[in-house]
Structure formats: C-alpha cells, structure tokens
C-alpha cells in the first residue's frame, strides 16, 4: 500500500498536501507521509504504511491515531472540518433530531461548493468579509475558489488609510462609472468620494462594479 495519484487528487480537493518523509528507523514501517494544509504548509497529520500492509493515521493536533483501510478514509479523518460559504439560498429541508426532544425540519442551506452545510458555515456577508480581510483560513477551499471566481479577493495587504487609493484605481473606477452611465445607470456613484477613499475600499469598489457590469448594470452595487 502506498500513495497513488487518486489519493493526491483527493488530498488537493480537501485542501491538503502530502509530503513523503525520510525512511523510518522502525523496520516495521515501510513509508511515512506528512499531511499538511496546502495553503500554509502547516502539518496536521501523518500517514504510516507498515510492512504488514496496515495504514496508521495520526492527527497532529490531538495526537489521536487510528487504523484505516484506505488512504482516502485516512485523509478524510485527518482533514480539518471546513467551514462552507453559504449562498443565501435553500434547497429542500433537512431533518434535525434534538438530543432530548423530537425531530423537526429546517430549510437546507445551499453552499458555494455544493457540500453539505454545517452549523459552522459562513453566511454570505461573513464569507465575503473573511476573504477580503485575509481571515478565510478555515473556509472550504472549493467554496473560497468559487467566491474568488466571482471577484472577491484578499485585500488585507492594501492600505486602509484614508486617501491611500492610487491614481490607477481612481481612474478605473471613473471608467466603470462612465460606462454604467452610458448603460442607463447615471447616478451609480458620487465621484467626489473617490479622493478620500482608501486603497482597500477602492479595490472592493472595483470588484463590486465589475460584478455589476456582468449583470448588465442591473441590481444593487
């Protein structure tokens, strides 16, 4: 038993990275692999293959270990619980059983990646804020990618100081506002607010204007 291309693909989907470690001094261990979080290379677990054909999985955070039949099961056990980003929409209902009570139904939230929602998920506003402020380390990688594809990006490296927006940012905003005016949205933005705008706020405004453009300038900014 060893790591396969299929295992590497699953690891990537889970936001994990597999790194083979040097041979162990323990003769009963054939291979050892470190399991790391892909975005920051933080080790969170270890896989050990034995000469007898067993697979031991260990969580670094708790020190817990278990024997798994497949690498896929081991990776899912080690992977941290990802917080999905909810879209604000619902599809059907789910049955919730209280610990000391009857069951009840509640709307089933839709997540950006299509994964099953959990109580730890981000709502739409919180998900956007987490990405923009560089605080999305716990977010499901697939959900994060979906939101980034929609123009929501980490702007935590940009200055939040008043009037720190660049001439290039302000010029691009004016260009987009002029285009919106030609398309029937003449009062979309008061351009007098541009000069005192921070670089971070200008970046967020550009993303919002670009999203509005994809909707043919219809709807809220």
Q: Are 97 and 74 part of one and the same domain?
A: no
- Look at residues 57, 56, 32 and name the one whose alpha carbon lies nearest to residue 45: 57
pLDDT for the residue numbered 101 = 63
Residues 11 and 71 reside in one and the same domain: yes
3-state secondary structure of 37: strand
In a domain, 16, yes or no: yes
Residues 184 and 180: their CA atoms lie apart, in Å, by 6
Exposed/middle/buried for 167, CB within 10 Å: 0-12, 13-18, 19+?
Answer: exposed
Instruction: For 61-91, write each residue's pLDDT tens digit.
Output: 778 888 888 898 888 888 877 789 999 999 9
Total number of domains constituting the chain: 3
**Between 60 and 119, residue with greater pLDDT:** 60
Same domain, 45 and 15: yes
Q: Give percent of the chain above pLDDT 90.
A: 39
Domain boundary among 29, 56, 78: 78
The parent domain of residue 31 ranges over 5-78
What does the alpha-carbon distance between residue 90 and residue 12 come to, in Å, rounded to a whole number? 28
Give the residue from 43, 78, 113 where a domain finishes.
78
pLDDT tens digit sequence for 152-210: 889 889 998 999 999 999 999 999 999 999 999 988 899 999 999 999 999 989 988 99
Same domain? For 133 and 187 the reply is no
User: Taking a C-beta distance cutoff of 8 angstroms, is the pair 70, 6 a contact?
Assistant: no
Residue 193 covered by a domain = yes
Residue 156 lies in a domain: no
Same domain for 143 and 189? no
Q: Are 43 and 34 in contact (CB under 8 A)?
A: yes
Residues 38, 74 share a domain: yes
Residue environment code for 41-80, b if the CB has 16+ CB neighbours within 10 A, otherwise e: eeebbbbbbeeeeebbbbbeeeeeeeebeebeebbeebbb
Q: Detail the DSSP E strand segments found in the chain.
A: 16-20, 29-37, 42-50, 55-59, 65-68, 86-97, 103-111
**Same-domain check for residues 101 and 143:** yes
51, 94: one domain: no
Please enumerate in sequence order all residues whose Cβ is within 8 A of that of 154, keeping only pairs 6 or more positions apart, or say none: 131, 132, 133, 134, 136
Q: Which two tokens stand for residue 13?
A: 């989907």
72 and 92 inside one domain: no
Does 73 lie in the same domain as 125?
no
């Amino acid at each position: 038993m060893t790591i396969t291309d299929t295992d590497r693909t699953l690891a990537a989907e889970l936001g994990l990275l597999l790194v083979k470690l040097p041979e162990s001094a323990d003769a009963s261990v054939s291979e050892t692999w470190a399991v790391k979080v892909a975005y920051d290379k933080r080790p969170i677990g270890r896989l050990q293959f034995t000469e007898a054909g067993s697979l031991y999985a260990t969580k670094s955070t708790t020190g817990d270990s278990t024997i798994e039949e497949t690498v896929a099961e081991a990776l899912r056990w080690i992977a941290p619980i990802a917080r999905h980003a909810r879209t604000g929409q619902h599809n059907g209902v789910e049955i919730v059983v209280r610990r000391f009570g009857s069951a009840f139904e509640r709307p089933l939230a839709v997540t950006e990646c299509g994964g099953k929602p959990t109580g730890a998920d981000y709502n739409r506003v919180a998900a956007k804020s987490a990405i923009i402020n560089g605080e999305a380390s716990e977010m499901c990688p697939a959900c994060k990618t979906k939101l980034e594809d929609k123009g929501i990006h980490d702007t935590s490296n940009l200055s939040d100081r008043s009037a720190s927006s660049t001439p290039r940012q302000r010029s691009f905003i004016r260009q987009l506002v002029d285009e919106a005016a030609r398309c029937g949205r003449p009062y979309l933005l008061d351009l007098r607010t541009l000069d005192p705008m921070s670089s971070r706020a200008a970046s967020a405004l550009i993303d919002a204007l670009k999203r509005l453009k994809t909707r043919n300038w219809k709807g809220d900014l």
